Amino acid sequence: MYDVIVIGSGIGGLVTATQLVVKGASVLVLEGYTIPGGSAGYFEREGYRFDVGASMIFGFGEKGTTNLLTRALNAVDLSLETIPDRVQIHYHLPLSLDLKVERNYEDFLQNLIAYFPHESKGIRRFYDECWKVFNCLNQMELLSLEEPRYLMRAFFGHPLACLGLAKYLPQNVGNIARRFIKDPQLLKFIDIECYCWSVVPADMTPMINAGMVFSDRHYGGVNYPKGGVGQIAQKLVEGLVKKGGEIKYQARVTQILVEKGKVVGVKLANNQEYRAQRVVSNATRWNTFEKLLSPVEIPPNEKQWQQRYKKSPSFFSLHMGVNAKLFSSHTECHHILLSEWEKMTDSEGTIFVSIPTLLDPELAPKGYHIIHGFTPSWIDEWQGLSEKEYEAKKETVAWRIIDKLEKIFPGIDANLDFLEIGTPKTHRRFLGRVDGTYGPIPRQKLRGLLGMPFNRTAIEGLYIVGDSTFPGQGLNAVAFSGFACAHRVGVDLGFI
Ligand SMILES: Cc1cc2nc3c(=O)[nH]c(=O)nc-3n(C[C@H](O)[C@H](O)[C@H](O)COP(=O)(O)OP(=O)(O)OC[C@H]3O[C@@H](n4cnc5c(N)ncnc54)[C@H](O)[C@@H]3O)c2cc1C
């Protein structure tokens, strides 16, 4: 009998597990795949080490309280060497808007103001407003907002910061941007600034998340872990085990066991059962309630949540190895390419590019680089095809994307050394995420982050951690969810 079982070793699950183990809880992590990390995992092919998903990493700063990846590793007496990225994103946008988001805040503002000089005041006031959110968050220890004693402590310790956050919690970026900015092209730019991590436009993106992303990129900065993103999960597992926790791989949970309305453990695909006082699911809310708890009736508050949030698209991914001569010394690590504003949220509309080997050359054979290119894609587009049709469609879409990438990397086709293609079905299969989704997005405009659930669920003893809980997607965000979840479980079990 364990104190806590964590289903899944994504960053959310591992932060929960490590935080609980250092508080003295006995913890077992059950991971369906062969390695940890989920969407922050990696795979190796022909001398290349590819990140599965995430590669623009926040949370590795050295100061403040929002550097949650640094803090999660430090909690188990570990750290990672990271490489600072001098530019967060190089945008290649409609109407020749070609702009770099520099690590230095003033440099970024000047780059943007150069395109929109008539909006110089509005630009500064909008991004300064984001700093207000960040400055509130960055004063407080980030723990469970559903734990009253912590809330009281936070309020009496930082009353102004708490009031500031309460003010921004129900707000979305669009309203605030329009308060300061009038130029429609500039508002479109704010849309893609949001879309590139929230996968919804500014009107649907919560201000709390924007405050984090738009400010932390200039504060703690974007930093790439040496050895690849997979190192984060590997290190957290090392810390977990060192502190007495356990992890089992190829341990796919097929059922969360419920007795007399209370969760008592889990059952694996091989029928083995494990018991615990508390179970934390790092699978998505849809996987947890519709697959792992079946035939238990979905609780009414989950049905309401499903009416407010829907699954975001998945991605079509190209993992490429290319000859190093494709790039110049000015090429940046992260790019976003969009040719028409109207297509921003369409399948194959926005193309995201990461070239992590520009920061850590050891991820590819000497003289070569990695390009991870990905674009939104829905699983429906890939269902019902024969194997032959599926393979043919993969090839067609891949070359369409590569053709588009020629615009920013002329000669990419001729310099291609390796290509592996992933579809939403690949994401579903390897990440265990229903429809391969990137996570929940609002069905319509909601009141900021107010509708995003915390970690407790309506089922006694069951908690959820990761990107389908407050505050949403991204490694630093799910680390926040992990700290909060461990805090709530720790209090419930008497460890705190
Ligand atoms: C293409 C792509 C690019 C991205 N880029 C960035 C980026 O640049 N920066 C950033 O910060 N974020 C990025 N993200 C988002 C970020 O990767 C995710 O938000 C985050 O990793 C999600 O973490 P998680 O803990 O919620 O769960 P996941 O990463 O989904 O991990 C869940 C784990 O649980 C396991 N699991 C699920 N069900 C079971 C079961 N039944 N039994 C056992 N194990 C199970 C899975 O195998 C998996 O290991 C990107 C995501 C994608 C897909």
Please list, in sequence order, all residues whose beta carbon lies within 8 angstroms of the beta carbon of residue 391, skipping any fewer than 6 positions away: none
On the question of pLDDT at 295 being above 90, the answer is no
Q: Is residue 180 part of a domain?
A: yes
Q: Do 322 and 406 reside in the same domain of the chain?
A: yes
Closest residue by CA, ligand 1 atom 45:
8
Q: Check: CB of residue 13 under 8 Å from CB of residue 485.
A: no
Closest residue by CA, ligand 1 atom 15:
474
**β-pairing, 87-93 with 97-102?**
antiparallel
On the question of pLDDT at 296 being above 90, the answer is no
Q: Do 354 and 426 reside in the same domain of the chain?
A: yes
Kindly give the distance from the C-alpha atom of residue 426 to the centroid of ligand 1, in angstroms, as a whole number: 13
Q: Do 355 and 339 reside in the same domain of the chain?
A: yes
Q: Is residue 97 part of a domain?
A: no
Kindly give the distance from the C-alpha atom of residue 119 to the centroid of ligand 1, in angstroms, as a whole number: 38
DSSP conformation class of 45:
E
Q: Do 144 and 180 reside in the same domain of the chain?
A: yes
Kindly give the distance from the C-alpha atom of residue 63 to the centroid of ligand 1, in angstroms, as a whole number: 26
Which one of 221, 250, 279 terminates a domain?
221
C-alpha torsion angle, residues 414, 42, 53, 432 (rounded to 10): 130
Q: Is residue 136 part of a domain?
A: yes
Looking at the CA of residue 430, tell me the nearest atom of ligand 1. Answer: 47
Return the minimum-mean-pLDDT range out of 24-28, 50-54, 81-85, 363-367: 50-54
DSSP conformation class of 288:
I
DSSP-assigned states of every residue in 104-173? SHHHHHHHHHHH-GGGHHHHHHHHHHHHHHHHHHTTS----TT-HHHHHHHHHHSHHHHHHHHHHTT-BH
b/e burial code for range 10-24 (CB count within 10 A of at least 16 → b): bbbbbbbbbbbbbbe
Kindly give the distance from the C-alpha atom of residue 482 to the centroid of ligand 1, in angstroms, as a whole number: 13
Q: Residue 467: CB within 6 Å of ligand 1?
A: yes
Mutate to test the pocket of ligand 1, among 282, 335, 353, 378 (most ligand atoms within 8 A of CB): 282
Kindly give the distance from the C-alpha atom of residue 463 to the centroid of ligand 1, in angstroms, as a whole number: 17
428 to 284, 287, 291, 314, 407: CA distances (angstroms): 11, 11, 14, 9, 31
Split at pLDDT 50, 70, 90, the class of 44 is very high
Q: Is residue 75 part of a domain?
A: yes
Structure tokens at 279: 């179970």
Segment 216-236 shows an average pLDDT of 98
336-359 pLDDT per residue, tens: 999 999 999 999 999 999 999 999
Q: Residue 55: CB within 6 Å of ligand 1?
A: yes
C-alpha torsion angle, residues 111, 115, 118, 120 (rounded to 10): -20
Q: Do 74 and 16 reside in the same domain of the chain?
A: yes
Q: Residue 283: CB within 6 Å of ligand 1?
A: yes
Closest residue by CA, ligand 1 atom 31:
10
Residue closest to 301 by CA, chosen among 280, 312, 285: 285
Closest residue by CA, ligand 1 atom 5:
54
Q: Give the neighbor-by-neighbor strand order of the sheet with 368-377.
A: 97-102, 87-93, 334-337, 351-354, 368-377, 314-323, 416-422
174-186 pLDDT per residue, tens: 999 999 999 999 9
Looking at the CA of residue 287, tell me the nearest atom of ligand 1. Answer: 38
What whole-number percentage of the chain has pLDDT above 70?
100
Q: Residue 475: CB within 6 Å of ligand 1?
A: yes
Q: Is residue 98 part of a domain?
A: no
Q: Do 217 and 248 reside in the same domain of the chain?
A: no
Q: Residue 279: CB within 6 Å of ligand 1?
A: no
Cα 275 → chain centroid: 30
The residues pairing with 83 across neighbouring beta strands, listed in sequence order, are: 224
- Using DSSP, state whether 296 is helix, strand or coil: coil
Which one of 200, 221, 242 terminates a domain?
221
Q: Residue 440: CB within 6 Å of ligand 1?
A: no
Which long-range contacts does 111-114 make (Cβ < 8 Å, 24+ apart)? 112/189
Mean pLDDT of the chain: 96
Q: What are phi and psi of 176, to 5 degrees?
A: -70, -40
Domain ranges, residue 454: 2-81+225-309+445-493
62 to 15, 106, 132, 220: CA distances (angstroms): 18, 21, 20, 7
Looking at the CA of residue 482, tell me the nearest atom of ligand 1. Answer: 25
Q: Residue 39: CB within 6 Å of ligand 1?
A: yes
Q: Do 199 and 261 reside in the same domain of the chain?
A: no
Q: Residue 482: CB within 6 Å of ligand 1?
A: no
387-399 pLDDT per residue, tens: 999 999 999 999 9
Kindly give the distance from the C-alpha atom of residue 40 to the centroid of ligand 1, in angstroms, as a whole number: 6
Range list of H helices, 295-352:
300-308
How far is Cα 191 from Cα 221, in angstroms, rounded to an integer? 21
Q: Do 318 and 385 reside in the same domain of the chain?
A: yes
Residue closest to 110 by CA, chosen among 124, 122, 97: 124
User: CB atoms < 10 A from the CB of 496, how many?
Assistant: 18
Kindly give the distance from the C-alpha atom of residue 320 to the centroid of ligand 1, in angstroms, as a whole number: 21
Q: Do 236 and 276 reside in the same domain of the chain?
A: yes
Q: Do 263 and 193 reside in the same domain of the chain?
A: no
Range list of H helices, 36-104:
68-75
Please list, in sequence order, all residues whose beta carbon lies within 8 angstroms of the beta carbon of residue 380, skipping any fewer than 6 positions away: none
Segment 264-276 shows an average pLDDT of 98
Looking at the CA of residue 268, tell me the nearest atom of ligand 1. Answer: 42
Residue closest to 376 by CA, chosen among 408, 415, 336, 417: 336
Please list, in sequence order, all residues whose beta carbon lies within 8 angstroms of the beta carbon of residue 12, skipping any fewer than 6 positions away: 282, 465, 466, 467, 469, 478, 479, 481, 482, 485
DSSP-assigned states of every residue in 239-274? HHHHTT-EEESS--EEEEEEETTEEEEEEETTS-EE
Closest residue by CA, ligand 1 atom 34:
8
Which one of 201, 221, 241 terminates a domain?
221
* Total domains in the fold of the chain: 3
Q: Is residue 265 part of a domain?
A: yes
Report the pLDDT value the prediction gives residue 294, as an integer from 0 to 100.
Answer: 81
Q: Which amino acid is at 363?
A: L
Report the pLDDT value the prediction gives residue 297, as an integer from 0 to 100.
Answer: 85
Q: Do 348 and 423 reside in the same domain of the chain?
A: yes
Q: Do 217 and 231 reside in the same domain of the chain?
A: no
Q: Is residue 261 part of a domain?
A: yes
Q: Residue 12: CB within 6 Å of ligand 1?
A: yes
Report the pLDDT value the prediction gives residue 353, as an integer from 0 to 100.
Answer: 98
Q: Residue 280: CB within 6 Å of ligand 1?
A: no
Q: Is residue 288 part of a domain?
A: yes
Segment 376-387 shows an average pLDDT of 97
pTM: 0.97
Mutate to test the pocket of ligand 1, among 39, 50, 478 (most ligand atoms within 8 A of CB): 39
407-433 pLDDT per residue, tens: 999 999 999 999 999 999 999 999 999
User: CB atoms < 10 A from the CB of 179, how many?
Assistant: 12
How far is Cα 395 from Cα 410, in angstroms, rounded to an integer? 20
Looking at the CA of residue 36, tell me the nearest atom of ligand 1. Answer: 49
C-alpha torsion angle, residues 374, 375, 379, 380 (rounded to 10): -150
Closest residue by CA, ligand 1 atom 38:
283
CATH of the domain at 283: 3.50.50.60
How far is Cα 400 from Cα 166, in angstroms, rounded to an integer? 45
Kindly give the distance from the C-alpha atom of residue 45 to the centroid of ligand 1, in angstroms, as a whole number: 21
How far is Cα 277 from Cα 61, in angstroms, rounded to an integer? 35
On the question of pLDDT at 109 being above 90, the answer is yes
Q: Check: CB of residue 448 under 8 Å from CB of residue 169.
A: yes
